[in-house]
Structure formats: C-alpha cells, structure tokens
A and B are shown apart, each in its own frame.
Chain A
Amino acid sequence: MLFRVNPASPQPLAEQIAACVRRAVADGTARPGDRLPPARSLADSLDVNMHTVLRGYQILREEGLVDLRRGRGAQLTDAASPGRARLGAAAGALVAEARTLGLTDEEVIDLVRDALAPP
C-alpha cells in the first residue's frame, strides 16, 4: 500500500493518509482483511505524528473501511470494496467543494438529503 503525503497541501495530513488507503482499496492494491501498517511505524516512515496517523485510521473506521482493535492494529473490513472506497472519496470531495463555496454543515446535509429524496 502506497502512502503519499504533502505537508504543504491544504488538505489535513490525516485526511491525506485516509485518502491513500481509499485509493489503494479502489484500485485493488489493498483488499478486505489486509492489515494497515502499525501507526507508530507509518508515522516514522512519513515523518508525521503518530496521532495524525491514528486520526487518519479513525476517519476510515467511521466510514466502515477499517476495523481498529487494541493489540491487533488496523485491518480492512469486509466492507472495504473498491466501490465503497470510491464513494468515500466522492463524499470527501463533496465536503471539500462545499467548504470552498462556504456552505455550512447543515446546508451540505440538506443537499445530500434532497439528492436522496425520491423524485
């Protein structure tokens, strides 16, 4: 699994780490059951704080892509399908675009709710 982060990017480092995992799942280089690198060694590898890596893994857990268990590390769940990863990336892009346009959280949720409503 390839991780690429750029400290100069406006995107938070934790989100960049989560995006790398989503991309790996989406392009088939990571599969359900694969273990992610231990947070400590990935932090050392990327020259970032360990809590930044853990925050990235936490984002993925909230999306259902990663299972975090004490003593077992981070492992991709059965739900970590390429489609699910692409959907997570699209949601991230939607939020980023909404932030650029100055929309509030409620306005973004209303947008999604409108899109979900039957025609």
Chain B
Amino acid sequence: MSTLPLPRPSRPSRTAVAVTVLPPAAAAAAVLLGYARLRPQLPEPLAVHFSAGGADGTLPAWRFLAAALGMIALTGDSLARLALADGMPSRARRALTAGDWAAAALLGSLCCLVPVANAHAARAADAHLSGLAVAACGGGAALAAAVGLLLSGAVLPPAPSGPTAPPAPVPIELAAGEVVSWSRTVGSPLLRTLGPALLGLAAVLLVSGAGAGALPAALIGAISTATGRVRVTVDRHGLTVRLPLVRRPWMRVPLERIAAADRREVRWTGVFGDEGYRSGPGRSGLVLRPGGAVAVLLTDGREFLVSVPDAATAAGLLTALVRCPREDRPCSSA
C-alpha cells in the first residue's frame, strides 16, 4: 500500500512576483528619495497630522521615515503574500492585487506629501497641506487599483490541463497487531500573513508614538501567528487537531464517536470569512485553506470536517480504524 503523492504547491511566476512586489517597492523608493531631497529644508520635528486649522501633530523626522517605510513594507508584503498564496481563488487574487497597487499608491503619495508640506516651514506649526493634494492621492490610488486589476491576470496560476476528480479515500489494509498513525500540518495563508503583519504594525505604532494601538495589534498578531498552523493526526485515538508547542489537543474526535469518514473538497468563495472554525446546524469544522478535507460522520449524525493536505489517506485510515478494531485484524478499509 502506498499513499497518494501530493500535488506540488504551484510556485508563483517571476512576472506574478514582480506585479505584486514592484508597487510597494516603488512607493518606498519614492518616499525615501523625496525625503532625502527635501531633508535640508525640513523643520524638526515634522508636522505629520493636519486638520482644517493646520498642522496639529508632530513626529521626529526619523520616526516619521521609519513609520512610513514600515507601513508601506508591511501592507505591501501582506497583500503580495496573500495574492500569491497557494489555493487562493482567482477573484480574491485579482482583488488583492488591485488592493496592493492602491495601498502602495495611497501610502506612497501621502508619505511623499508630508515632507512637501513641511518644506520651507520654519517650524512644524507653519506646515500646510492642501485638501486638494490629499484628494489627488485618493484619485491616484483609485487609478493604481484599476492598473493593478488590469495586470492581475499575471498573478493567476495556469488553469489545470483537464478535469480532475478529487481522489477517493485511499483503501488501507491493517495487519494483525499493527499500529498506525497519520499526521500532517496545515497552515492558513491568511493567519500566517496577518499574524506577523500585525506584530510588525505593533512595532510601527510603537515607533510612531501611538503606543495605545500597539498592544491590541501585538495581541491579535500573536494569537493569529500561534493559531495559523495546526497538526492533524489520525490514529488509535481518533482524529486530533493540535496547536504547535501545546501538549493538550485543541480538538479531538474519539474513534468511538466516528461512524464513517470521507474526503471532501472545500472551496473558498472569498478571502475573508470562509476560513477558521466554522459551526452550523449538524456540522462544524476547521477550515484553514481551500482544497481537500477529511470529513467524519459522527455517531450522533453530526459532521466534523478539517481541511488538510493528503485528506484521502486520512479518510482511508480513519475508515480502516473504525471498521477494523485491533483484535479483528487483518482487515481492509476498501
């Protein structure tokens, strides 16, 4: 008996990487160059927040530059990673690419505008930012989003060459006295991007002096990072989901509660809202990514589902373990 070779995750093409990485890189370069050019004419500290009455918030110049570059890098990196993530639906890829371009244009132009508004001002209070310039930044971002949408075709992976049926559970034969265990890790592209991004945002907020917002960002970032990857195990205990570094199982369905197991295909209809722990009438599940999932029908008629690579082997082994108690072996799940 051999298990099914896993399909290799499709690696993004160089063009796809360029389309998503170039906008934030160009925005960061523009901010850096603009700041370097105007540096001799800037007051210290810089005016960074403006209202109808004029400048009403300041930051030391190095803090402004660090926060601006950090925000552009974090936003660009997160959106690019999500747009290129394996298994992401095409519609979401297009939206994320457009968002990547829009965010780079908006953050880049606004952060370029700050030194321009401060240039030639003797002190920060004299700096002036026109509402028209801010509106122009918004217009530029909308235009960039349209360009990103037009170029988003480059981010889409090639379509499969033909219709492919999802693999059925792999039949597994268990020998007398044999002990078996199947285990895989599964990660959520969204949580694994969001977690580090929020931790980075917390650092940026600390640097820019907005310490109050840093704590919730760091907390949510840490939780997202910790729950962004789980290990799914099928063995004599049943179906178990564990978080890394935590000894106690997060979820466990004992073998005695399982009536049958099967492999299902989970599709995402959008980027946000489809993933995570989901519960509904008669069914619940942990969906961290689209694709194969092992589904178990419980003895009380409810269904529990976990998305995981190589779900066909997991479903086959669960079927074998349910049908073939250790004392009745050898027998087969087929």
Which residues of A are interface residues toward B (Cβ below 8 A)? 1-8, 23-24, 27-29, 31, 34-35, 37, 40-42, 45-48
Contacts and interface: CB of A to CB of B under 8 A. Distances in A.
Interface centre among B3, B175, B177, B231 (most CB of A within 10 A): B3
B317 interface: yes
Given A2-B313, A29-B5, A37-B231, A46 B175 contact: no
Given A29-B310, A41-B242, A46-B235, A4 B6 contact: no
Contact of B6 (A28, A37, A40, A48): A28
A105 B313 CA distance: 39
Given A3-B182, A4-B180, A29-B3, 4 more contacts: A2-B3, A4-B178, A29-B5, A29-B313
Contacts of A29: 3-6, 310, 313
Contacts of B185: 34-35
Interface in B1-44: 2-6, 8
B181 A45 contact: yes
B183 interface: yes
A3 B181 contact: yes
A46 B235 CA distance: 8
B2 A1 contact: no
B179 A7 contact: yes
B317 A2 contact: yes
B3 A24 contact: yes
B233 interface: yes
A35 B187 CA distance: 12
Interface in B156-186: 175-185
Contacts of A34: 185
A41 B177 contact: no
B181 A46 contact: yes
B178 A45 contact: no
Given A2-B182, A2-B317, A4-B180, A45 B6 contact: no
A28 B175 CA distance: 24
Nearest to B229: A35
B3 A8 contact: no
Contacts of A31: 6, 8
A47 B177 contact: no
B237 interface: yes
A6 B181 CA distance: 12
6 contacts: A4-B178, A6-B178, A28-B5, A31-B8, A40-B247, A41-B233
Contacts of B283: none
A57 B236 CA distance: 22
B284 to A, nearest CB: 23
